[in-house]
Amino acid sequence: MNKKSFSVPVLTYHHVNKDGHFINVKPQIFENHIRYLNEHGFTALQTGDLLKIFNGHHMPPKRPVMITFDDGWLDNWVYAFPILKKYGFKAVVFVITSLIAEKGRRQRTDESIPSFLPSHKECQKMIEAGLASEVMLSWEELREMENSGLIDVQSHTHAHIRWDKLYNDHKMKLDALNQDLKLSKETIEKRLDKKCNALCWPWGMYNKDYIDSASSSGYELLFTTEKGTNVPVTEQWRVRRLAIGNISTLTLRKKLFIHSRDWLSKAYLKIFK
């Protein structure tokens, strides 16, 4: 694979728990995905790797892929991390920093039988009830995952809000956005003693002003919900991703086959938007 032809598919997960549906992937299904990637020679990238590839400083591996998790749910630690650890596979976790708390370190599936974790809708209700620490990752858990070298913790903003709906005044909106992005970045860097260089937009909502704000705040990679693969001409401000739900390994294999080839990815998305 040379620089002119590489394609990097970026996979998007949220939950990994026993309540399997589109946004909640069952642990066994998730392990099937990781086993497939491992057995078929895929190399998992983190944000620093992707940035070096985009900048032309590194050539991509033969079969690159990136695994991302949005929000920072507790089940990423309880169920997903032990599976990633088992196969030595890397991933990126985009966290909502205002929801990460001092909750200590809880047991994982490779240490004990965990209590049942709630579905996505139930998690949202618990957050609204002020119980975010019961369903979200803690700083202690994030620190242990980051220190393992397998998990790259990055920003999903501080408050995970729609600034366009909260502010009619353009200046007020951008001021609030700037404060949020800087606070999230500073919090991650301070709490985990690392560089926070990447941001994932809530609901994939962004525009040029948002990009300018993120760039001035020090972010170097911006992740979207736009479908497709990532090639040499992909802007580092518009990293495309593929939503991966509770799908079969065969369906995953199909997605990877299509989106590991730029020409096929574009042709496919023209037909199936």
Residue 24, strand partner residues:
15
Provide the 10 A C-beta neighbour count for residue 169.
9
pLDDT for the residue numbered 1: 43
The C-alpha angle with vertex 54 and arms to 177 and 52, in degrees rounded to 5, equals: 95
Q: Give me the tens of pLDDT residue by residue for the chain, a chain 273 residues long.
A: 444 578 999 999 999 999 877 889 999 999 999 999 999 999 999 999 999 999 988 889 999 999 999 999 999 999 999 999 999 999 999 999 999 988 899 999 999 887 778 999 999 999 999 999 999 999 999 999 999 999 999 999 999 999 989 999 999 999 999 999 999 999 999 999 999 999 999 999 999 999 999 999 999 999 999 999 999 889 999 999 999 999 999 999 999 999 999 999 999 999 987
- Helix then strand then coil, % of the chain, to nearest 5: 45, 15, 40
Helices 27-39 and 249-259: angle between axes, nearest 10 degrees:
50
Domain 10-271: CATH architecture, name and number where available: Alpha-Beta Barrel (3.20)
Q: Round to whole Å and give the CA distance between 64 and 177.
A: 33
pLDDT for the residue numbered 2: 47
pLDDT for the residue numbered 64: 97
**Residue 245 is encoded by which pair of tokens?**
């739900």
pTM above the 0.85 mark? yes
Helices marked H in 111-156: 120-128, 139-148
pLDDT for the residue numbered 40: 97
pLDDT for the residue numbered 11: 98
pLDDT for the residue numbered 144: 98
pLDDT for the residue numbered 4: 57
For β-strands 43-44 and 24-25, DSSP reports them as unpaired
